Amino acid sequence: MKGKHIQIFGLAVTVLYGLFVAWIYWAAPKNVGEVSTKARETIEQATNEAKAATGTYQVDSAKFQQGLNAFRAENFVLARDQFEQADPKGIDPATQYYIAYSFYRQGWGRFTNDDVLFEKGLEQVDKVIALDREYKADDPNLNLKYPVELKQELEEGLRITADDFNPLRLTRERQ
Amino acid sequence: MKEENQSELAESSEEDESVIDGEVLTEEHGNAEVADRSESDRPLLPASKTPKDGNQRNWLLYILLPFIFLTVALLGGLRIAAETGEFIFSRPALICLVFATILVVLFFRTGLISIGGWFSESLSTLKNASNAAVMVAIFAGSVQVFNSLIPEQGLAFWVVSFCFLWTLGVSYFSVADASRLVRSTVALFVAAFLTKYFLLANLTSTSSGNWLQRLWDDPTREALTYLLDLPRYASATGYVQFFAVALFLLGLFLIPRSTQE
């Protein structure tokens, strides 16, 4: 091997090994077995970042459909998991809107709402608004078509007012 | 001056022939400084004589040296949790970067590494780039060796950091040659290793359970662990760090003064 070839090889190996060391400290695996798991996660993340940067990012339609089925079957925990897998970058407004809506539907109660889920829903709907302020859901099962409507509903659910003690409220329906 | 030397030569030639030979040799070089060259001017790695030697030198410089220093960078921050046995990757404190910078400056200052011998317009771009990569690896290894030797937190961190700062400061102004710097660095690192992985590790409580149980089992160590804010690491950490420090010192001995033939 010529000196020049050794230098090129050495430079490449040094850069790769250096990146590996930096990555290890960034990922901080807890044991040797976790190294491969973290590596896979990093590769997936990098791939999604690259796809988003090049405009070729697409939501996993199969996972999205599974999430939608779970959402319609009122299995909101599973639905959120499937939606998150369908849109790992969290940049698709439709998928993110379903996640926000799942927090609303799971947290809604005839007598009282689950504040924790509503707060999470509020955070999520803010994310949707940041992604696409003009977004409109085309699903006929969703009564609240716009993120601002969902936001209003969630904020209303979190607020305690005299109106909350109105017995007629028991007749209201989930959106 | 030359005339004096020649007259001395003439006088001494009458007394002892062997002395003449020695003096003539000095005159041949025409420079008295050549004979007085300090140890630091001599490259630690001899220059290659055959193409095969040149290849070995390249393997050492561009493969082995970065591998050694990057392995030190990898292992230097690795700790193993006492209770769970999990890896903890401790990122270097800012002070480690400062110490590593001083150490690398000392390498240049004492002549352990000659800037002109590593980076030059007369070298090819590839060689300069390769040398820069090796230099980055040396710096990363230096940062992590300090990360390995300096206690993570508490009073011990400040005391050991101050000792390092003091010693490096003294070395900066007083150590003038490479071999002395290497010897002083070895002594410094060995002392720091013994302090952290023998003295402080033995003061750290290793008993498990809740704090009351630990206090009951070993009150002195538990109190010292609390007062000195000592982290609880498994003894395997010491073995890993011993390897890291030994590897760094090996790397120091292998660094050539110059990469030019």
DSSP conformation letters of B179-196: HHHHHHHHHHHHHHHHII
Q: Is the pLDDT of residue B103 over 90?
A: yes
Q: For residue B75, what pLDDT is reported?
A: 95
Q: Is the pLDDT of residue B24 over 50?
A: no
Reduced to 3 states (helix: H, G, I; strand: E, B; else coil), residue A151 is helix
* Inter-chain touch A18–B54, beta carbons under 8 Å: no
* Inter-chain touch B55–A4, beta carbons under 8 Å: no
pLDDT for B60-102, tens place per residue? 889 999 999 999 999 999 999 888 889 999 999 999 999 999 9
What is the domain count for chain B? 1
Comparing CB atoms, the residue among A10, A18, A31 nearest residue B63 is A10
* Inter-chain touch B130–A25, beta carbons under 8 Å: no
How far the first Cα of chain A sits from its last, in Å, is 72
A20 contacts in chain B (CB < 8 Å): 74
Residue B187 lies in a domain: yes
Which residues of chain A are at the B interface, by a Cβ-Cβ cutoff of 8 Å?
1, 3-4, 6-11, 13-15, 17-18, 20-21, 24-25, 28-31
A157 plus A89 within the same structural domain: yes
A31 contacts in chain B (CB < 8 Å): 85-87
Residue of A nearest to B80 (CA): A30
* Inter-chain touch B58–A10, beta carbons under 8 Å: yes
pLDDT for B123-182, tens place per residue? 899 999 999 999 999 999 999 999 999 998 888 899 999 999 999 998 888 877 888 888
Which domain, by its residues, includes B167? 54-254
Reduced to 3 states (helix: H, G, I; strand: E, B; else coil), residue A149 is helix
A97 plus A128 within the same structural domain: yes
Residue type (1 letter), B180 = R
CB atoms within 10 A of CB A24: 19
What is the domain count for chain A? 2
Q: Is the pLDDT of residue B41 over 60?
A: no
Residue B122 lies in a domain: yes
Smallest CA–CA separation between A22 and chain B, in Å? 8
The ipTM of this complex is 0.75
Residue of A nearest to B129 (CA): A11
> What is the four-CA torsion angle of A27, A28, A34, A40, rounded to 10 degrees?
10
Q: Are B28 and B39 in contact (CB under 8 A)?
A: no
Residue type (1 letter), B216 = W
Domain C-terminal end among A37, A54, A71: A54
A84 plus A167 within the same structural domain: yes
Comparing CB atoms, the residue among B58, B77, B137 nearest residue A14 is B137
B83 contacts in chain A (CB < 8 Å): none
Mean pLDDT, contiguous 10-residue spans, chain A (175 residues): 87 95 93 89 84 82 92 92 89 90 88 87 90 87 90 86 72 76
Beta bridge partners of B79: B88
Residue B45 lies in a domain: no
Angle at B86 between CA B84 and CA B90, to 5 degrees: 125
A65 plus A148 within the same structural domain: yes
CB burial of A39-76 (b: ≥16 within 10 Å; e: otherwise) equals: eeeeeeeeebeeeeeeeebebbeebbebbbebbeeebb
Closest CA to B108 of B149, B83, B143, B139: B139
H helices of chain A, in order, are 3-27, 32-54, 61-72, 76-86, 93-107, 115-131, 147-158
Domain at A159, CATH number: 1.25.40.10
A144 plus A120 within the same structural domain: yes
Comparing CB atoms, the residue among B66, B87, B133 nearest residue A30 is B87
Smallest CA–CA separation between B80 and chain A, in Å? 9
Residue type (1 letter), A166 = N
Q: For residue B40, what pLDDT is reported?
A: 45
A69 plus A32 within the same structural domain: no
A76 plus A155 within the same structural domain: yes
Percent of chain B exceeding pLDDT 70 equals 77
Which domain, by its residues, includes A45? 2-54
A10 contacts in chain B (CB < 8 Å): 58, 61-63, 66, 130, 133-134
Phi, psi of A91 (to 5 degrees): -120, 0
Q: How many Å apart are CA B76 and CA B70, to the nearest integer? A: 10
Smallest CA–CA separation between B60 and chain A, in Å? 10
Q: For residue B192, what pLDDT is reported?
A: 92
A70 plus A148 within the same structural domain: yes
B63 contacts in chain A (CB < 8 Å): 6, 9-10, 13
A41 plus A79 within the same structural domain: no
Residue B108 pLDDT class (50, 70, 90 cuts)? very high
Q: For residue B49, what pLDDT is reported?
A: 59
A100 plus A139 within the same structural domain: yes
Give the CA distances from residue B234 to residues A66, B83, B184, B205, in Å, rounded to whole numbers and listed in that order. Answer: 46, 8, 29, 11
Residue B7 lies in a domain: no
A26 plus A104 within the same structural domain: no
Residue of B nearest to A18 (CA): B70
